[in-house]
Chain A
Amino acid sequence: MVEDSWYLILSALLFTIGGAGLLVRRNPLVMFMCVELMLNAVNITFVTFARTLDDVGGQVVVFFVLVVAAAEVVVGLGIIVSILRRRPGATADDVSLLRG
């Protein structure tokens, strides 16, 4: 029998790895992937609580998180493409100013 707290601890570990990666890495694409890891950690938590409390709301929230993540990735990658086209090989350190 898998306890509920095990899922929560797994989710916490995944969130921690994603957050540390977001802080440490410099490549904007890899930073984006770390944000996806953190979103997935939150999704595991929502699904766990949905099952424990017998409430469909948790699963609906996960559905909306998926949609918003897809939209976020599309816009974010568009921004990254337009930045990298102007200055190839740019890292997150090179675009610290709000101007081209």
Chain B
Amino acid sequence: MDVAVFVVAGAIILGGALGVVISPNPVHSALMLVATLFGVAVIFVQQEAHFLAAVQVIVYAGAIVVLFLFVIMLLGVDKAEQLSTEPLGGQRPAAAAVALAGLGLVVLLAVQAAEITGARAVSGELSGEDSNLEILGRSLFTDYLFAFEATSALLVIAVVGAVVLARRPQEPVAESD
């Protein structure tokens, strides 16, 4: 059962990721991205990260992809791209070679180091009687309080920056006596 869930979720994740890269239309890419993010949420549930799975669906699939779609529609760039010709000669084989080399290295590491070693529970144990949400919340508001407050500042800065960037430049006011 576990393996079946993993295989189906993995197929959705990889199929969606390939769809994002391959599909010529940005709208299709965004919808394929939703499939990938949903598969990642399933993997999170399987790994007992229930809160993160919920946040993944709400924030990523609900907010970020909708933002992408809004921008695509507002700018009117929802036309299919010409993907059959390479703009830069030899770039695709080079990109594939770099990607495969990186993949080979990481998979080699993952297979060779089948036994994961490391210090256990530096900042609190994940298992226990409390729910995942309680454990995560307690850790976030004690050990990671400063980082949490810093992210609130980051979000405010991002909002202000987005407003400044997306504002239309003001027309110069005509001088009149």
Interface size on B, residues (CB 8 A): 88
Knowing A34-B21, A44-B43 touch, does A71 contact B154 (C-beta < 8 A)? yes
Per-position binary interface string of chain A over residues 48-85, scored 1 when its CB falls under 8 Å from any chain B CB and 0 otherwise = 11111111110110111011111111110111111011
Most buried by B among A30, A56, A81: A56
Are A59 and B126 neighbours in the complex by a CB distance under 8 Å?
A: yes
Per-position binary interface string of chain B over residues 11-43, scored 1 when its CB falls under 8 Å from any chain A CB and 0 otherwise = 001100110110000100110010011001001
User: In the complex, which residues 94-138 of chain B have their Cβ closer than 8 Å to any Cβ of chain A?
Assistant: 94-96, 98-100, 102-103, 106-107, 110-111, 114, 116, 118-127, 132, 135-136
Per-position binary interface string of chain A over residues 33-52, scored 1 when its CB falls under 8 Å from any chain B CB and 0 otherwise = 11011001001100111111
Give the residues in chain B near A25, CB-CB below 8 Å: 21
Are B124 and A2 neighbours in the complex by a CB distance under 8 Å?
A: no
Are B126 and A51 neighbours in the complex by a CB distance under 8 Å?
A: yes
Whole-angstrom distance between the Cβ of A47 and the nearest chain B Cβ: 5
Knowing A47-B44, A77-B71 touch, does A37 contact B116 (C-beta < 8 A)? no
A80 to B159, CA, bound (A): 15
Give the residues in chain A near B6, CB-CB below 8 Å: 2, 6-7
Knowing A51-B47, A70-B59, A81-B71 touch, does A19 contact B155 (C-beta < 8 A)? no
A52 to B115, CA, bound (A): 10
Most buried by B among A16, A21, A93: A16
Are A77 and B67 neighbours in the complex by a CB distance under 8 Å?
A: yes
Interface size on A, residues (CB 8 A): 73
Whole-angstrom distance between the Cβ of A26 and the nearest chain B Cβ: 6
Give the residues in chain B near A88, CB-CB below 8 Å: 75-76
Give the residues in chain A near B102, CB-CB below 8 Å: 15-16, 19
Binding site for B on A (CB under 8 A): 1-10, 12-21, 23-27, 29-30, 32-34, 36-37, 40, 43-44, 47-57, 59-60, 62-64, 66-75, 77-82, 84-85, 88-89, 91, 93
Known pairs A25-B21, A59-B51, A60-B143 / 20 extra A-B pairs, C-beta < 8 Å: A1-B3, A3-B114, A5-B114, A6-B6, A12-B107, A21-B17, A23-B91, A24-B92, A43-B52, A47-B44, A48-B47, A50-B49, A56-B121, A56-B123, A56-B126, A56-B135, A69-B64, A75-B162, A81-B75, A85-B168
